[in-house]
Structures are given as C-alpha cells and as structure tokens.
Amino acid sequence: MTERTPTTTADLLELEIGPVAHGGWCVARHEGRVVFVRHALPGERVRARVTEESKSFLRADAVEIIEASPDRVEPPCPFAGPGRCGGCDWQHASLPAQRRLKAAVVEEQLRRLAGIERTVLVEEIPIPYVEGLENAPVVGPGLGWRTRVQYAVRGDGGVGLRRHRSHSIEPIDECLIAHPGVEEMGIERKRWPGASGVEGIVSAGTGDRLVVLSERRGRDRRPVRVPRLDVPVRLVRGRAEPGRALPFVREEVAGRLWQVSGSGFWQVHPGAAQVLADGLLDALEPRPGEIVVDLYCGVGLFAGVLGERVGRNGLVVGIESDGQAVRDARFNLRDLPQVSVERGRVEEVLDGLEFARRDHGGRRASGSLMHQADLVVLDPPRSGAGREVVDRIAGLAGRKIGYVSCDPATLARDLGYFGERGWTVESLRAFDAFPMTHHVEMLATLVRG
C-alpha cells in the first residue's frame, strides 16, 4: 500500500485540471484524492496552493497557470483572484465559456441526482436601460448588473466584500458587477462606524435607491454613523418593528409597479424578473378561469402575472412565510380580486387549502370546493422545496408545475422526487442571471408522465 504524502495548506501542487464542478470549482486529482480548484479552467495545467484539507478531498487555488485554456481572459476586477474577494467565480473565463460551464454543471446535477439526461443551453439576459441613470459609468460585458449588493464592514468602518469561504473582508473601492445605480451611491468609498453590514439597492425600473444598515451586536455595538452619500437615498435601519412599514423601492415589470420593502427578495439582475415572468407564462399557458397556487410567492410577481391571465373567473393563491413580503404582495395585487396571499410555511398552509370554481359572473359556483389546482408555481429558497413539499405539490397540481430555481443541485434533487410521483420534465430553461459567478437561474416545467 502506497503511503499518502501529508498535505498542508502551504503546499503547492502541480495539477491537470479536469471538468467543472458545482460551486465555481474545477476537479483535479492528487495522489488519489479529489482536489477542488478555484481560479482554473478545464484542460489547464496549473500550480495550486492548498487552502483546505479533509480525509477525502482537498480545496486549492490556482496561483500559477502553466498551460492556459483558450477560454481564459484577464479578470476585469483588480480585487478578483486567489485569496481575495469571493463574490465572483469566473472572471478569468470568457462569457461564452462561463455559460458553457454553467450548462455543464446543470447537466451533471440532473444526470447524477435525478437520472435526467438533457442538453442545457444557458441564455443571456440583456441589461435593460434604466431611466434616470444616463450619467452612470459605462461598464463592460457581464458587468454592472447586480442591483442589490451586500457589503461587509470592518471594525474601523471600512467597507469590503467577504473572501471566499472566509469571514475576512477584502477592502474594495468599487464592485464591477454592481449596477451603476449602486455604484453612484459611493458606499464603498465612505466609512460606516458601528455598522456590521451595508446593503445598496437600486430599482431596475424606476431608479429608486435604498440603503439598508445592519448594526453590530454585543460588546461591539455602538450607534452607526451614517456618512453623506453621493446621491439621495432612502435609509433602512434593520427590520421593521411589528406594525411599522419599511422604506421601499418600486420595481417596474410586466406593466406594473411592485413595492419591495427593505431587503425584501427581488431578482438582482435588472432583466431577470421580466424574463422569468414571460418564460413562466409561455411554459404554463394559463387559461381563463383556471386555479393557480404560487408557493414562496414573495412580493407577488408570478401571482400577479398569472392572475391577469386567469382573469376574474380564475383564482390565484399565493403562499409566503415572510410577513413584510406578504404585506407588499397584498398591496401590489390589491387591484386583482382573483388573487389572494396567505401567510405561513408552505407545507402548513397547503394542508388547509380549498378552492372554488367561479361562474361567468365571478361568483363561486355552488358545490365546487376542491383540493386540486390546475397549475402550481414554486420559487423556493436555495435549499429547494424538499420531499415533503414535493409530495404535497405532486398531489395538488392538475395540469402543469412551474419550478423556478437558482441552485442546480436542489432543483435536480426535487425533480427526482417529482419523477417518483409520476411527473416528468417537459421543458427546462437556464438563464445567466449572475454573470461572473457560478450561479444560474432555471425554469423547469413538469407535466404528468
């Protein structure tokens, strides 16, 4: 038996880089162990510094490129690279190569976790023009898209972003993937004594701006000194107390304005919400009078566009656990009487749902209570829906299911669960809603097998 050479985090390994792996890594091997390597590309030969070690695998950063891939480019951001800002994974790859890498990850996760063989194409999402930002700086391809940026604050008040798999903060004075409307605030160029975090938000449709402060806790807690920013903004200090509304931004999508309070969830790419709403309508083909359930509905985007399609004789029920999001959704959809929003955990609210068909006058038809919807939509957090929720949805949905996900692994796992319950994938689209990072947004449509 060959003894394995002990490895330390100071070691440099010469590696042949193999395929891409989920999470912004590529896979190599050293003395029989898998090595997950960042800052490399498939087919390259590199020298990599070990950053973590376990019994079964290593993690490493490529610090020297011996033989480069033709897909390699110079990272546009000076803060990207080994040991530095962890916000971006693929700045060293061309944009077409990034999309191929993401497609390969989605395909591998579907094959391994769900037994689904499918060719995936990751689609580009154009960045729409935003009125009121005519003087914003021009950025390059794949940059300037992130409308919500969460900065970490050091003890001295300086601002930065977390390093990869670390609590350490990389000081920055500019983030190239941040939307120009965020950069115009000048958050990174100010001091924020007393804050633990600062989030900069700009609306993709209206130019509204918001800054959300997180205060330090415990012994380090002290009043936050808010600097004067370069443009007017609305300020949020923490979450709302019960009964107190938070400042909000207005997003303009699908011909409607959507109120999103504080750090409430909204797609960070300025074109993603419209693309996903359109894609969902195309895939599900909602019909007048149908019943729809929208799980993890947030501030009501999908419930709203589906509610308009099913009309006054239809019914859309949204379910959301976050109280502020429920308040926003009810406000956003107040003109659609066929749409209601229930607050609670999805698996708990689903158990008590009953629906009623309506007649042509919009009245509930007698004797029409039922426990099945025509369509079900879900857009769960990164952790996915899980078996318990999938089991409920599989029995609830009648015609189609639309599943929106930002994580290939949990999507594939849940599609496998749906397959066990007799549902098959009719279509799957992937969108590059997070250029320069390993993240990808997906829309799967399921039908009964």
Relative to beta strand 315-320, strand 339-343 is parallel
User: Strand, helix or coil at 403?
Assistant: strand
d(CA 193, CA 336) in angstroms, rounded, equals 45
199 close to 220: Cβ distance less than 8 angstroms? no
DSSP H or E segment with residue 327: helix 323-332
Determine if residue 379 is labeled as part of a ligand binding site: yes
Q: Is 406 a catalytic residue?
A: yes
Q: CA-to-CA distance for 405 and 309, rounded, in angstroms?
A: 23
109 annotated as belonging to a binding site for a ligand: no
- C-alpha separations of 47 from 13, 21, 34, 39 in Å: 5, 19, 15, 11
Does the CA dihedral 197-170-189-78 come out positive or negative?
A: negative
| Catalytic, out of 88, 175, 297, 406 | 406
Is 267 annotated in a binding site? The answer is: yes
What tokens does 161 get?
């972003």
Cα separation of 75 and 113, whole Å?
A: 33
Annotated ligand binding at 296? The verdict is yes
Give which of 158, 163, 160, 136 is closest to 147, Cα–Cα.
136
The tokens for 268 are 């960070």
**Torsion angles phi and psi, residue 413, rounded to 5:** -55, -50
195-202 and 148-153 beta bridge pairing: antiparallel
Euclidean distance between CA atoms 396 and 392, whole angstroms: 6
Q: CA 195, CA 221: separation in Å to the nearest integer?
A: 8
Residues with active-site annotation: 406
What residues form the annotated binding site for S-adenosyl-L-methionine?
267, 296, 320, 379
Binding site per annotation, positions: 267, 296, 320, 379
